[in-house]
Amino acid sequence: MERKILHIDMDAFFAAVEQHDNPDYFGKPVIVGADPRGRGVVSTCSYEARKFGIHSAQPIGEAYRLCPQGIFLPVRGERYAQVSRCIMQLLSEYTPLIEPLSLDEAFLDLTGSEKIFGSSAEIGKRIVKDIQRKLGLSASIGIASNKFLAKLASDLQKPHGFVIITPENVGELLDGLKVNRLWGVGPKTEAHLQQLGIETIGMLRRSDPEVLAANFGEVGLQLYLLAHGQDDRPVLPEEAAKSIGHEITFQVDTGDRSFLAGVLLWLSDQVARRLRQQSCKGRIITVKIRDCNFKTLTKRTTLTEATDFEEQIYSEALKLVQQAAWGINRVRLLGVSVSGFGSEGGTQLGLFEEEQPMLQCACAHRDLGKLHQTVDRLRDRFGEGIITKGTILHVKSKVDRSNEPE
């Protein structure tokens, strides 16, 4: 049976919620993010603001220069999470197989739902109408036989997009698209492909897989399969998520260990934040290093007690990359992930250990947890940049100038 996968992506979600909550903002350029007088970035913006050249992750000061008449608003994380829960609840009426990617997008496996609710296209249209009627928001929908194609489809005609990719039209839709529309293709990989004379997905599909493997290793074969519209990954419901992680591909390979350590701290901070947002703790910490020759190395360690603290994640991740000598060569990609959920383990007093030091450790652990909760609330209310470590700020500034986060 051919799978029917739907990808839903809300249109300018944060800005759309703000416009819904304050009708005076309708039709006006709304920019959600940091204070325009500060050094943060744009989280998202309305389509009216995008006409001025504003986009996500753009320095907030630049956005203000492009559109000083825009409506600049702080991030209201709790409100967006509330609306997101309503959306996910609505989606759950059609299938239990829902894999959220963020607050405003998710995959749905509708293969078994068609017998109950009609075709996947009919279900998609009902979802769009339900969200508009109940929440006053718009969404873009992509439907295909796998996750890659469904996500690609939802992005082809935003906003209010509704695209179905079938075996009959997949070649037509993919052929003319740039190779950077494929997962895993950043600026450097795109440049390397262009050196091989490959600029579009259609050209990649007609390439020799042996040539791709020789130039990119396993990644080349994965790109070859994606170019043919092949992706067999299942939709994993949130409770079945295997790991939470972040990674970054550098535009320029780097051997600067101090900079890489700073990036590792940044990634650990992002992973811990997502863990706490999803009320998850994990015991397995994994680092991923890809060098300038596209050789990928992974190292992992298992903790005795599950954690969602960036301090512990970073400490263990740093040990792992140092054990691996940072992959020896210059680094192209660095990633951190946490897995092993649902089994937090515990700390048990040894037979001859003194109780007082352990109690002090437990108190310190609770205090650190309270600190994280306070910082999370501030970030939810005022944006991610309201509180950050100096090292992370320096690293982000350097990355923003010359690299592309994934």
Q: Is the pLDDT of residue 127 over 70?
A: yes
Give dist(CA 350, CA 361) in Å, integer.
14
Reply yes or no on whether the pLDDT at 362 is more than 50. Answer: no
| Structural element, H or E, at residue 101 | strand 98-102
Instruction: Quote the tokens at residue 36.
Output: 């325009």
Let me know if domain 1-166 sits in CATH 3.30.70.270: yes
Angle at 81 between CA 36 and CA 371, to 5 degrees: 75
pLDDT confidence of residue 41: 85
The predicted pLDDT at position 276 comes to 84
Give me the pLDDT at residue 389, please.
59
pLDDT band, residue 204 (cuts 50/70/90) = very high
**pLDDT value at 348 more than 80:** no
* Least confident window among 20-29, 30-39, 276-285, 348-357: 348-357
pLDDT band of 404, cuts 50, 70, 90: very low
Q: Is 138 helix (H, G, I), strand (E, B) or coil?
A: coil
- Tell me the CATH class for 241-405: alpha beta
Which of 16-25, 76-85, 242-251, 360-369 reaches the highest mean pLDDT?
16-25
> Which residue has better confidence, 368 or 5?
5
How much is the pTM?
0.62
For residue 403, what pLDDT band results from cuts at 50, 70 and 90? very low
Per-residue pLDDT, averaged over 60-72, amounts to: 95
Q: Is 210 a catalytic residue?
A: no
Phi and psi (nearest 5°) for 11? -85, 115
For residue range 288-339, what is the model confidence (pLDDT) as tens digits? 998 887 778 888 888 888 888 889 999 999 999 988 887 778 888 889 999 8
Structure confidence by residue, pLDDT tens digits, 39-49: 788 989 999 99
For the chain, residues classed under CATH 1.10.150.20 are: 171-227
Both tokens of residue 279?
């009320």
Q: Do residues 69 and 52 touch, judged by C-beta distance below 8 A? A: no
Cite the residue boundaries of each domain of the chain with CATH code 3.30.1490.100: 241-405
| Position 346 pLDDT exceeds 90 | no
**Where does 255-389 show beta strands of DSSP type E?**
282-291, 296-307, 331-341
Paired with 302 in beta bridges are: 284
Residue 1: pLDDT band with limits 50, 70, 90: low
Tell me the pLDDT tens digit for each residue of 239-296: 555 678 888 877 778 888 888 888 899 899 889 988 887 778 888 999 999 888 777 8
pLDDT value of position 375: 61
Which amino acid appears at position 302 of this protein? T
Task: Out of 105, 247, 310, 384, pick the active-site residue.
Answer: 105
**Is a pLDDT exceeding 90 seen at residue 197?**
yes
Looking at per-residue confidence, does 401 or 391 come out higher?
A: 391
- Give kind and range of the element (H or E) at residue 202: helix 201-205
Block residue for tokens 């489809």: 153
Where does residue 140 rank: exposed (0-12), middle (13-18), buried (19+ CB within 10 A)? buried
Amino acid at 330: R
Which part of the chain is CATH 3.30.70.270?
A: 1-166
Higher pLDDT, 40 or 86: 86
Q: Which token pair is 394?
A: 């320096």
pLDDT tens by residue, 157-189: 999 999 999 999 998 899 999 999 988 788 888
Q: May I ask the CATH class of domain 171-227? A: mainly alpha
